[in-house]
Amino acid sequence: MSLRKDASELTGPSELTGPKIVPRGRSDFLEVGTPMLSFLAIGTIVGTLLGLRFKVFVLVPATLITAFAIVATLHGARTIAVTILATTVLLQIGYVLGCIAHAYANAYWEGRAALRHHASKSHPA
């Protein structure tokens, strides 16, 4: 007796092609990963913009607002916790990058202002 079946012995199309197996990681990523990636990207951009303009205390309400927005997506508790943690970290990294960019921009504009108001030799002030 052979364990192998010929095509004529198969009864249905599922036996001929086999069961359809969808990789779990891909379907989960499409369902959960897209909103998570968007929160991470937006968190970094918002952190940078906040760092350009505001003091460090603005991170507390920004973190709370993003946490409420992430909880409103109604995914699993583990996904929500990881997304909140990662978004908070990237919000703070973006804030630091915004502060650094602000410091460099201030130094640049102060240097340009000093050059602009410097008296020339042909036209003394």
Q: What is the DSSP string of the chain?
A: --SPPPGGG--SHHHHH------HHHHHIIIIIHHHHHHHHHHHHHHHHHHHHS-GGGHHHHHHHHHHHHHTT---HHHHHHHHHHHHHHHHHHHHHHHHHHHHHHHHHHHHHHHHTSPPSSS--
Tell me, yes or no, whether 96 lies in a domain. yes
Identify the residue whose tokens are 């998570």: 36
pLDDT value for 115: 72
Which residues form the domain of 98? 28-114
| pLDDT tens, the chain, 125 aa long | 555 555 555 555 555 555 555 455 555 555 667 778 888 899 999 999 999 999 999 999 999 999 999 899 877 888 889 989 999 999 999 999 999 999 999 888 888 777 776 666 666 65
Tell me, yes or no, whether 121 lies in a domain. no
Tell me, yes or no, whether 80 lies in a domain. yes
- Looking at the structure of the chain, the number of domains it has is 1
